[in-house]
Structure 1
Amino acid sequence: MISISLCMITKNEEKSIENCLKSVHDIVDELIIVDTGSNDNTIEIIKKYSNNIYNFNWINDFSAARNYSFSLATKDYILWLDADDVLLEEDRVKLIELKNNLCDATDYVGMMYDYSFDDNGNCTYSFRRNRLVKNFRGFYWDCFMHERLNVWGNHEDYDIHITHTRKHDNNKRNIENFRKKMLENYYLNPRETYYYGGELFAGGYYDDAIRVLENFLEMDYDDNYDKVNALIKLADCYSSKGDYEKAIKYCTNTFNYEIPRAEVCYKLGYCFQKLQKYYEAIFWFKETLHSNCPNENFMKVDNSWINYLPYQQLCCCYYEVGDLKNSFRYNELAASEIPNDYYVIKNKEMFKSLGFQVD
Structure 2
Amino acid sequence: MDQSERLIHPGVRQRRYVHIMVKLSACLIVKNESGILPRCLESIQSFADEIIIVDTGSTDNTVEIALRYKAKVHHFQWRNDFSAARNESLRYANGDWILYIDADEIIDEANALKIRSLINSKDIMALTVRQCIPQQCDNIATSFYSEYCRVFRRHPEIRFEGTIHEQILPSIKRLGGKILRADIIIHHWAYAFNKEKKRQRAERNLNYLLKEFEKNPDDSFTLFNLGMTYQELGNNDSAIQVYLRMLEKPTDIKNELTGQSHINLSKIYLENDNTTKAVYHAQQALLLDTNNPLSAYMLATIAVTKKQFQKAIEHLETAIKISEGETGIAPNVELNMAQIYLELGSCRYSLHDFVGAENDFLRSLAYDASATNPYILIGNSRLIRGDKRGAKDMFEQALTINPQLTEAKSGLTLCSNEKSALANE
TM-score bracket, shorter-length normalisation:
0.7 to 0.9
Question: C-alpha separation between the residues in 2 aligned to 1:126 and 1:256?
Answer: 19
1:196-215 counterparts in 2 under 5 A? 196-215=226-245
Residue type matched to 2:378 in 1? K
Please state if 1:47 is matched with 2:67.
Answer: yes
1:131-150 counterparts in 2 under 5 A? 131-136=150-155, 138-150=157-169
Question: C-alpha separation between the residues in 2 aligned to 1:295 and 1:324?
Answer: 32
Question: C-alpha separation between the residues in 1 aligned to 2:59 and 2:102?
Answer: 18
Name the count of aligned residue pairs: 351
Work out whether residues 291 and 330 of structure 2, in 8 Å CA contact, stay in contact via their aligned partners in 1: no
Please state if 1:58 is matched with 2:86.
Answer: no
Please state if 1:15 is matched with 2:43.
Answer: no
Question: C-alpha separation between the residues in 2 aligned to 1:287 and 1:98?
Answer: 35
Worse overlay, 347-356 or 332-341: 332-341
Q: Deviations over 1:216-260 (max 9, x none)?
A: 212332221110000001011112223222211111122442447
Please state if 1:286 is matched with 2:286.
Answer: no
Worse overlay, 38-47 or 260-269: 260-269
Residue type matched to 1:200 in 2? Y
Which of 129, 135, 141 is residue 111 of structure 1 equivalent to? 129
Which of 205, 227, 240 is residue 271 of structure 2 equivalent to? 240
Work out whether residues 286 and 310 of structure 1, in 8 Å CA contact, stay in contact via their aligned partners in 2: no
Cα shift at 1:273: 0.8
Work out whether residues 209 and 222 of structure 2, in 8 Å CA contact, stay in contact via their aligned partners in 1: no
Aligned residue in 1 for 2:398: none
Q: Secondary structure at the match of 1:289?
A: helix
Change in 2 beyond 3 A, CA 1:228/1:269: same
Residue type matched to 2:256 in 1? Y
Residue type matched to 1:309 in 2? Q
Question: C-alpha separation between the residues in 1 aligned to 2:330 and 2:304?
Answer: 32
Change in 2 beyond 3 A, CA 1:163/1:215: same
Work out whether residues 127 and 298 of structure 1, in 8 Å CA contact, stay in contact via their aligned partners in 2: no
Superposition RMSD on alpha carbons, in Å? 3.1
Change in 2 beyond 3 A, CA 1:356/1:234: farther
1:305-320 counterparts in 2 under 5 A? 305=337, 308-320=338-350
Which of 140, 149, 152 is residue 130 of structure 1 equivalent to? 149
Change in 2 beyond 3 A, CA 1:248/1:50: same
Please state if 1:164 is matched with 2:188.
Answer: yes
Question: C-alpha separation between the residues in 1 aligned to 2:291 and 2:124?
Answer: 34
Aligned residue in 2 for 1:268: 299
Worse overlay, 221-230 or 332-341: 332-341
Unaligned runs of 5+ in 2: 1-20, 394-425
Work out whether residues 113 and 161 of structure 1, in 8 Å CA contact, stay in contact via their aligned partners in 2: yes
Residue type matched to 2:203 in 1? I
Q: Secondary structure at the match of 1:341?
A: coil
Residue type matched to 1:248 in 2? V
Q: Secondary structure at the match of 1:32?
A: strand
Cα shift at 1:325: 4.5
Question: C-alpha separation between the residues in 1 aligned to 2:331 and 2:157?
Answer: 26
Aligned residue in 2 for 1:343: 373
Question: C-alpha separation between the residues in 2 aligned to 1:131 and 1:7?
Answer: 10
Identical-residue share of aligned pairs (%): 23
TM-score (norm 1): 0.84
Q: Secondary structure at the match of 2:249?
A: coil
Cα shift at 1:209: 1.4
Residue type matched to 1:315 in 2? G
Cα shift at 1:319: 3.4
TM-score (norm 2): 0.72
Question: C-alpha separation between the residues in 2 aligned to 1:262 and 1:180?
Answer: 31
Question: C-alpha separation between the residues in 1 aligned to 2:275 and 2:84?
Answer: 42
Q: Secondary structure at the match of 1:6?
A: strand
Residue type matched to 2:44 in 1? V
Question: C-alpha separation between the residues in 2 aligned to 1:134 and 1:47?
Answer: 25
Change in 2 beyond 3 A, CA 1:353/1:297: closer
Q: Deviations over 1:88-132 (max 9, x none)?
A: 344445544456xx023321123343433898xxx9444443222
Please state if 1:257 is matched with 2:288.
Answer: yes
Residue type matched to 1:317 in 2? C
Cα shift at 1:261: 4.0
Change in 2 beyond 3 A, CA 1:319/1:91: closer
Question: C-alpha separation between the residues in 1 aligned to 2:226 and 2:311?
Answer: 33
Question: C-alpha separation between the residues in 2 aligned to 1:29 and 1:261?
Answer: 37
Larger Rg computed on CA atoms: 2
Question: C-alpha separation between the residues in 1 aligned to 2:360 and 2:209?
Answer: 50
Residue type matched to 1:283 in 2? E
Work out whether residues 50 and 71 of structure 2, in 8 Å CA contact, stay in contact via their aligned partners in 1: no
Work out whether residues 37 and 56 of structure 1, in 8 Å CA contact, stay in contact via their aligned partners in 2: yes
Work out whether residues 172 and 203 of structure 1, in 8 Å CA contact, stay in contact via their aligned partners in 2: no
Question: C-alpha separation between the residues in 2 aligned to 1:255 and 1:94?
Answer: 32
